Each structure stands twice: as C-alpha cells, then as structure tokens.
Structure 1
Amino acid sequence: MARKQLIRALPLDWPVHITQATNGEEALDAIRQGHGQVVLLDLTMPVMDGYQVLGQLRAEGLKAKVVVVSGDIQEEAQRRVHELGALAFIRKPADPDELRDTLIRLGLLRPAPSTSPVTGVPCRVDPDLRVNFRDALREVSNVAMGRAAALLARVLGVFVQLPVPNVNLFEVSELHMALADAQRGERLSAVCQGFIGESIAGEALLLFHDAESDEVARLLGWQNHGDADEAEMQLDLASILIGACLAGIAEQIDVRFSQGHPQLLGQHSSIERLFQLSNKRWRKTLAVEISYAIEDHNLHFDLLLLFTETSIARLTQKIHYLMD
C-alpha cells in the first residue's frame, strides 16, 4: 500500500519510468541494473531495511539519488539517513505537494512553464497493485508506530528500532497461547487502555519486562523506585505509546477514538496471570503486534492493539476506502 500511495503522489509531469521493489534487497538489484537513478526509499522493510540499503549504495559506489519516505520520523532517523547520503526525508504518507516541491528543490524535476504543453512524459497508469486487508493495516500501523516511536525517543533520549508490525486474526484462545509461548518463564507487568470510535473498538495492551525495569528507571532519571513508582512510570509510558499509536491510526483512516484511562493489569506476574483473555466479551480478535526495541540498551516494549471481531467490518471498509 505504501508503494501504491507513493506512485499516486508522484507529479504527473515527471518524465520517469517506475520500477518497484518490495524490500531493500530487490531495490539494490534494480539499482545495480540501472533502474534506480532516483530512489524513493522506505526505512522499515523486511529482508533489508533502508539504512542497510543506503550503506550498501555507499559501499558499492552506486550513484542513485535517494529521497527517504518513511513513517519513522525520529530526529535521529532523519540525521542518520542524511549522514548515509540521502538527499531528503519525507514523512509517510507522502503529501503530493511536499513531494513535488522536494523533487524541484533537488533539481530532479524541472516543470515546464504552465503555458507550454507537456511532452515526452511516459504514460502514467494508476498502479494495479493488489493490496489485501492485512497488508494495508500493517502499513497503517507502520506509520502510526513511527509517530509513537518519535515521542518515546524524545522522552527517553534514545533511538528506537522499529520492526515490521505483525497483523493476525486470532481466536482469543489462540492469542492467549501465542503470548504465553512467546513470554514463557518471564515476569511481566502490563497496562491496558480501551478505545472506541465509529463502530471500531478494542483494547491496547503494553507489556513491560520485569528484568528491564531498572534500565527504564535509569533512562528516566529515577534513582530509587518501588512498585508504586514503577506503576506510575509504566502508566506514563503507556499513555505516550498507546495514545500516539492510536492517534496515528485514527488520522489515517479518518476516525476519532475515545480512549479510556490506562489501567495497570498487574505487576511481576506470568502472562497467563496478567491476561484473563477467556473473560473477554468477544471470541475473535484482530491483533496488531509491535515490539519497540531500544538501541544500545537491553530494553523493549511489546504493544498489542486488539480489535473486537465486530470492529472488523467497519475497519475493513475504512481501509479499503484508504486504498482506493
């Protein structure tokens, strides 16, 4: 969906032929073959991410002119891509006017005077990219998690490494088992926050790993802390991550979420004890899983956005409208 949105945002009077790649490795192969004189590059990708692509372009001496278009809007991310040779940074989803102005500023687009006919421009066809619902929601979540990461990075003074989000439809019992298996033997604390808007409802869950709590406190400048201080710290971080992520999703699909107050589910417990998922009011859940890892620290936060099964129809409608 990111590529579909970006192709639609390209200036119609830009005389270029377009080659697409689904990950960084494919992009490098295309650039080596001469298909990428100008590259619009994402950062969060499977197989090989955007940072690795920029590093490899430099290592091989490839002369592609790179504009990064990414949902990872951390100030450090922007500094790093410029250091690696990117000419500009545009936040996703790309605004057509900003993209056009950037291309003109970089000398990559020379628009003809408005009185002159545009000639020699290849026929631009709307991309016939088949985007399924899961991939589309993954991209929406990707943009939203980047905004949340930028806030987290600012609060903790760190660089946040972002994954490709996972999106799956689970039976609630299956989700319970998947979580229990992934977190087997770990002691965790968790914060939950409900949300609802335009027939879309669910719950956000943020997991904290007990073994990492001292590191979080150190980054926040808390010298001595007990369970009460730790709970306050977790509720504050949950407000940042959950609030920013939900706001990013809401903005893209044009809804307004009402959010409940974050609540501490429990501290220093097993995953089974924390989540009494069998007591949920719904049988299935659409789960978006995001794991924020902090660079140079043994620290990560696991965020799950769980949408009720009754929300899926409306969410699907909103996503398809965004794709079309």
Structure 2
Amino acid sequence: MATSVLICDDSKLARRQLARSLPEDWDIKVEFAENGYDCIDKIKSLMPEVLFLDLNMPQMDGYEVLEAINEQGLNVLTVVVSGDIQPNAHERVRELGAIDFIKKPCDSKKLAEIIEHHGIRDKAIRESLVHKLGEQLDSELRDVYQELTNVAMGQAGDLLARLLNVFVKLPIPNVNVLEVSELHMALQSIDSSVSTSGVCQGFIGGGVSGEALLIINDSSFKEIASLMNYTGELNDKVELELLMDISNILIGAILTGLSRQLDMPFSQGHPVVLGQHGDVAELVKANKGRWQRTLAIEISYGIEHHNINCDLMLLFTEDSLKTLKYKVAYLLEE
C-alpha cells in the first residue's frame, strides 16, 4: 500500500521541488497543504503518515503547526524542511517532535538519506516511531528533570568554583528525548569549529542507567592548568590528566546530586576517553554506536573572566525513562 505523504509549504514552487526530490522508487501518495491551517485540516482529514513541513509561513508557521500536532494528539512523522539552519531552530523543532531537519533548497540525496536512516519506508518502523513520539516528555516532566538537574548542577559548579577559586557560570539545563541522529546534531551544535577532547563515564542504579559525556574545548586547558597552579609544559598526557580531573569533579558531583534527590544510588564505571584534539563530529562518529534513543540533559559550563568552556551531557537509556518517571511522580503531585 502506498505511503501517504503531505507536503506543507506556502510556496507552490517549493512544494513541487520537494515532491520531485522524493525517491522515485518509494511508493507514495502525495498531497499538498498551502499553509499551516490547511496543513492541520489535511492531517485530520487525510491522516498522512509522513509530513514534510516548512517553518516560515504566514499566519500559522511551522512551529505553530508542530505545537498544534502535539496539543491535538495528531499522529504523523514530521520532517522539517526550511532555510532557517541556525542551531536553535534545529533544537526547537526537535523539542516539538520533528524527527529530522533538512535545509532548503532540498537536496534529493540528503532527503533519501534521512528517509533511509529513519526507515520510514517501512510501515512497521513508521508505527514504532509514532509510538515513540507519543512518549516524548511533557512540559511538566521536563520541568521536574530540569529542576533536579539545576540543584545537582549547582553542587557540581560549587565544587569546581572552590577547586579553581573562580566564579562558575551556570546555565539553564536543556532536557530532551533524542534519537541517536538528533543527539549527533545536538553534539555538533556545541561548536564544530574548535578542537575538543572528550571523556565518557557509565553509571547504573535502581533500574536507571546511562552515560555522562564531558566535552572540553582544547583552548581551555592552558587556563585550567594555570588555575590549578600547574607550571610545567602542557602535552597530551598532562591535558588528559586535567580532562580526567575536571570530569571526575563535574560528573561525580552531578550524579551524586541527582542520586540524593531521586533516592537512588548510582554506581559509576571507569571513565573512557572518547578522543583528544578533534572536532565534535569526529568524537560522535567514532562513538555513535554507544548511544541510541536517550533522555539527554545538556549543561554548558563557563568560568567568568576565563576562556574555559565545557559541555556535560547526561544520556539516560530509553529503558530508564519509565523508572525515572515513576521516581519523580511524587514531585508532580499537587
């Protein structure tokens, strides 16, 4: 049976161009929507399985369409197609439930890769993806995870501040359920233009497991060494020791903070070096087999008046989501 596909774009040219870019050997039935309101109406009436959605449209834009899909419980796999390629746009559409993002003008090869990667030609896989989208974090649960992380993050920042005698800038944690391809994109958005080093450490406890990933800009090591009163020559061995020291502080403290709040002790594995002096894309490519669908909590630490930047991501396994939700249920009770 042909796969039902809906293309929504306010440009007739863009709609036709995207339709021509879809794989010729994919058995599909294509319908078109001219704006966001038309899109929602046709999702309800036609019940398409796949939606290709533009972001920048008058009256009701793509973000509002994604919000309406969530609010009204409409079941459709959405790939965003837009000229807005800034990382914040990618992040926002993922939060709203889009499974992927492709920039305009649409490239048929890249489009085919996305379709192949998500397996959306296969009806069983499409149904599985729709089911998983239904498990995305609701706003209340995201707020709870964010607040738990805020407390634990503050404890980790305090330890780092005391060790280095500095003021640590604490961000608002970013909490999302991500597929491995989306995690790849999120990590690359950290900063693909700089050299980085990374370490990963597994943890497990009470039906919850995952990995903590720390990525540090290589430009930070000189100032970290200075703040730790190291006066010798910096080399790969010394920088690795500094990386391990910082990761032990931040990862250990934040897991301890979460453990206390969840009343769930975590056992930590041995840290594993993901790589040194490479870009984030290389770290991800070399280690992408380690991560699948995951609850990802991202924290970007900075130190005032110093060129020190590091990103910490807590990656909880998909199997941990049910246990975590149960553990924090009492926090949602009124």
- Aligned-pair distance for 1:131? 6.6
- Deviation >3 Å, runs of 4+: none
1:259, distance to aligned residue in structure 2 (A):
0.3
1:164-208 CA-to-partner distances (Å, cap 9, x unmatched) read 111011111111022113321211000111000011000001111
| SS of 1:207 mapped into structure 2 | strand
CA offset at residue 163 of structure 1? 0.9
Which residue of 313, 320, 324 maps to 1:311? 320
Instruction: Provide the C-alpha distance between the structure 2 equivalents of 1:164 and 1:239, rounded to a whole number of angstroms.
Output: 21
Matched, 1:199 2:217: no
Contact 2:192 2:281 in 1 (8 A): no
The one-character-per-residue Cα deviations of 1:115-158 (angstroms, maximum 9, x if unpaired) are: xxxxxxxxxxxxxxx97111100000000000000100011110
CA distance in 1, matches of 2:225, 2:234: 8
Structure 2 residue 259 is the aligned partner of structure 1 residue 289: no
C-alpha contact (below 8 Å) 1:161/1:295 kept by paired residues? yes
Show the counterpart of 1:160.
Answer: 168
Amino acid at match of 1:170: L
Q: Does 1:135 align with 2:135?
A: no
- For 2:171, give the aligned amino acid: P
Name which structure has the greater RCO, CA cutoff 8 Å, separation 6+.
1
**Structure 1 residues 1-324: aligned runs within 5 Å:** 132-223=140-231, 224-275=233-284, 276-280=286-290, 283-324=292-333
**Secondary structure of the residue that 2:306 maps to in structure 1?**
coil
Distance, in Å, in 1 between the alignment partners of 2:168 and 2:211 is 23
The one-letter code of the counterpart of 1:313 is K
2-side partners of 1:258 and 1:154: how far apart?
25
Percent of residue pairs bearing the same amino acid type: 50
Please give the alpha-carbon distance, in whole angstroms, between the structure 1 residues aligned to 2:219 and 2:246.
17
- TM-score, structure 1 normalization: 0.58
Which residue is equivalent to 1:80? none
Unaligned runs of 5+ in 1: 1-129
Match of 2:32 in 1: none
Q: Please tell me whether the aligned partners of residues 176 and 277 of structure 1 are also in contact (alpha carbons under 8 angstroms).
A: no
Q: 1:170, 1:218 → 2: CA distance? A: 37
Q: Which residue of 1 aligns with 2:116?
A: none
Is the contact between residue 185 and residue 270 of structure 1 (CA under 8 Å) also seen in structure 2?
Answer: yes
Letter of the structure 2 residue corresponding to residue 159 of structure 1: F
Q: Secondary structure, in 3 states, of the residue corresponding to 1:183? A: coil
Query: How many residues are aligned here?
Result: 194
Contact 2:204 2:268 in 1 (8 A): yes
Query: CA-atom RMSD, angstroms?
Result: 1.5
Instruction: Could you tell me which runs of 5 or more consecutive residues in structure 2 were left unpaired when the two chains were aligned.
Output: 1-137
Provide the rounded CA distance (Å) in 1 between the counterparts of 2:282 and 2:244. Answer: 19
Give deviations 1:263-299, integer Å, cap 9, x for gaps. 221100111221234312x531110011111011121
In 2, Cα distance between equivalents of 1:250 and 1:213 = 30
| Residues 88-134 of structure 1 deviation map (CA, whole Å, 9 limit, x = unaligned) | xxxxxxxxxxxxxxxxxxxxxxxxxxxxxxxxxxxxxxxxxx97111
Q: Is the 8 A contact 1:160 1:294 kept in 2?
A: yes
- Look up the match of 1:92: none
